[in-house]
């Protein structure tokens, strides 16, 4: 043989290229599907965690109020610390500091005290802390603000 192809060899080569392209397409679709499923699972997990954390915020408030108004016994301290450790491991973060600039995206002003000459609104008192998990706002911080009239 001098290396010439038989008439069926060209057809076989064409079919091989078609099947290879089909397999590459199916593999790409499957990879996209796996990525989409992984992303969807993460989104469902994040929503579930946010829902559980939102449901637990009244418990957090009750523990914080109790710690603020009762003597901090070793048992109460252990409850508070364990609660915050577990909630922190799920990504719960509190926010709201006195003196920080007022941000309507994450603060809710329930009291406004006018201060002549003030240039901007500032959180003067945190009435109820706000919480977020990741970038998701679970509850805005209720604040008293001071600023321009």
Mean pLDDT of all residues in 88-92: 96
Task: Tell me what the pLDDT averaged over the chain comes to.
Answer: 92
- pLDDT of 84 over the 90 cut: yes
The predicted pLDDT at position 1 comes to 47
Mean pLDDT of all residues in 63-71: 92
Mean pLDDT of all residues in 23-34: 95
- pLDDT of 3 over the 80 cut: no
**pLDDT tens sequence across 30-53:** 999 999 999 999 999 999 999 999
Most confident of 1-5, 115-119, 143-147: 143-147
Region of residue 139 (phi > 0: left; psi between -120 and 50: alpha; otherwise: beta): beta
- At residue 113, the 3 state secondary structure works out as strand
Mean pLDDT of all residues in 23-31: 95
Cβ pair 110, 143 in contact under 8 A: yes
Q: What does DSSP say about strands 136-139 and 122-128: parallel, antiparallel, or unpaired?
A: unpaired
Mean pLDDT of all residues in 54-80: 94
Distance CA 61, CA 5 (A): 82
The predicted pLDDT at position 46 comes to 93
Sheet holding 92-95, edge to edge: 92-95, 130-133, 136-139
CATH superfamily of 92-149: Head domain of nucleotide exchange factor GrpE (2.30.22.10)
Q: Angle at which helices 74-89 and 7-69 pack, to 10 degrees?
A: 160
The predicted pLDDT at position 5 comes to 54
Cβ pair 135, 91 in contact under 8 A: no
Which helix (H) or strand (E) segment holds residue 32: the answer is helix 7-69
HSE of 47 in the Cβ direction (CA atoms, 13 Å)?
A: 6
Please indicate, yes or no, whether the overall pTM of this predicted structure exceeds 0.85.
no
* pLDDT confidence band for 137 (50 / 70 / 90): very high
31 burial type by CB count under 10 A (0-12 exposed, 13-18 middle, 19+ buried):
exposed
């Amino acid at each position: 043989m001098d290396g010439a192809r038989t008439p069926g060899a060209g057809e076989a080569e064409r079919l091989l290229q078609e099947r290879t392209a089909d397999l590459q397409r199916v593999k790409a679709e499957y990879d996209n599907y796996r990525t989409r499923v992984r992303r969807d699972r993460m989104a469902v997990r994040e929503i579930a965690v946010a829902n559980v954390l939102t449901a637990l915020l009244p418990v957090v408030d009750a523990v914080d109020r109790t710690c603020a108004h009762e003597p901090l016994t070793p048992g109460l301290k252990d409850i508070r610390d364990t609660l915050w450790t577990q909630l922190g491991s799920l990504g719960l973060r509190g926010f709201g500091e006195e003196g920080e600039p007022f941000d309507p995206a994450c603060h809710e002003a329930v009291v406004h005290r006018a201060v002549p000459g003030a240039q901007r609104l500032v959180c003067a008192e945190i009435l109820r802390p706000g919480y977020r998990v990741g970038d998701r706002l679970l509850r805005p911080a209720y604040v008293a603000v001071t600023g321009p009239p």
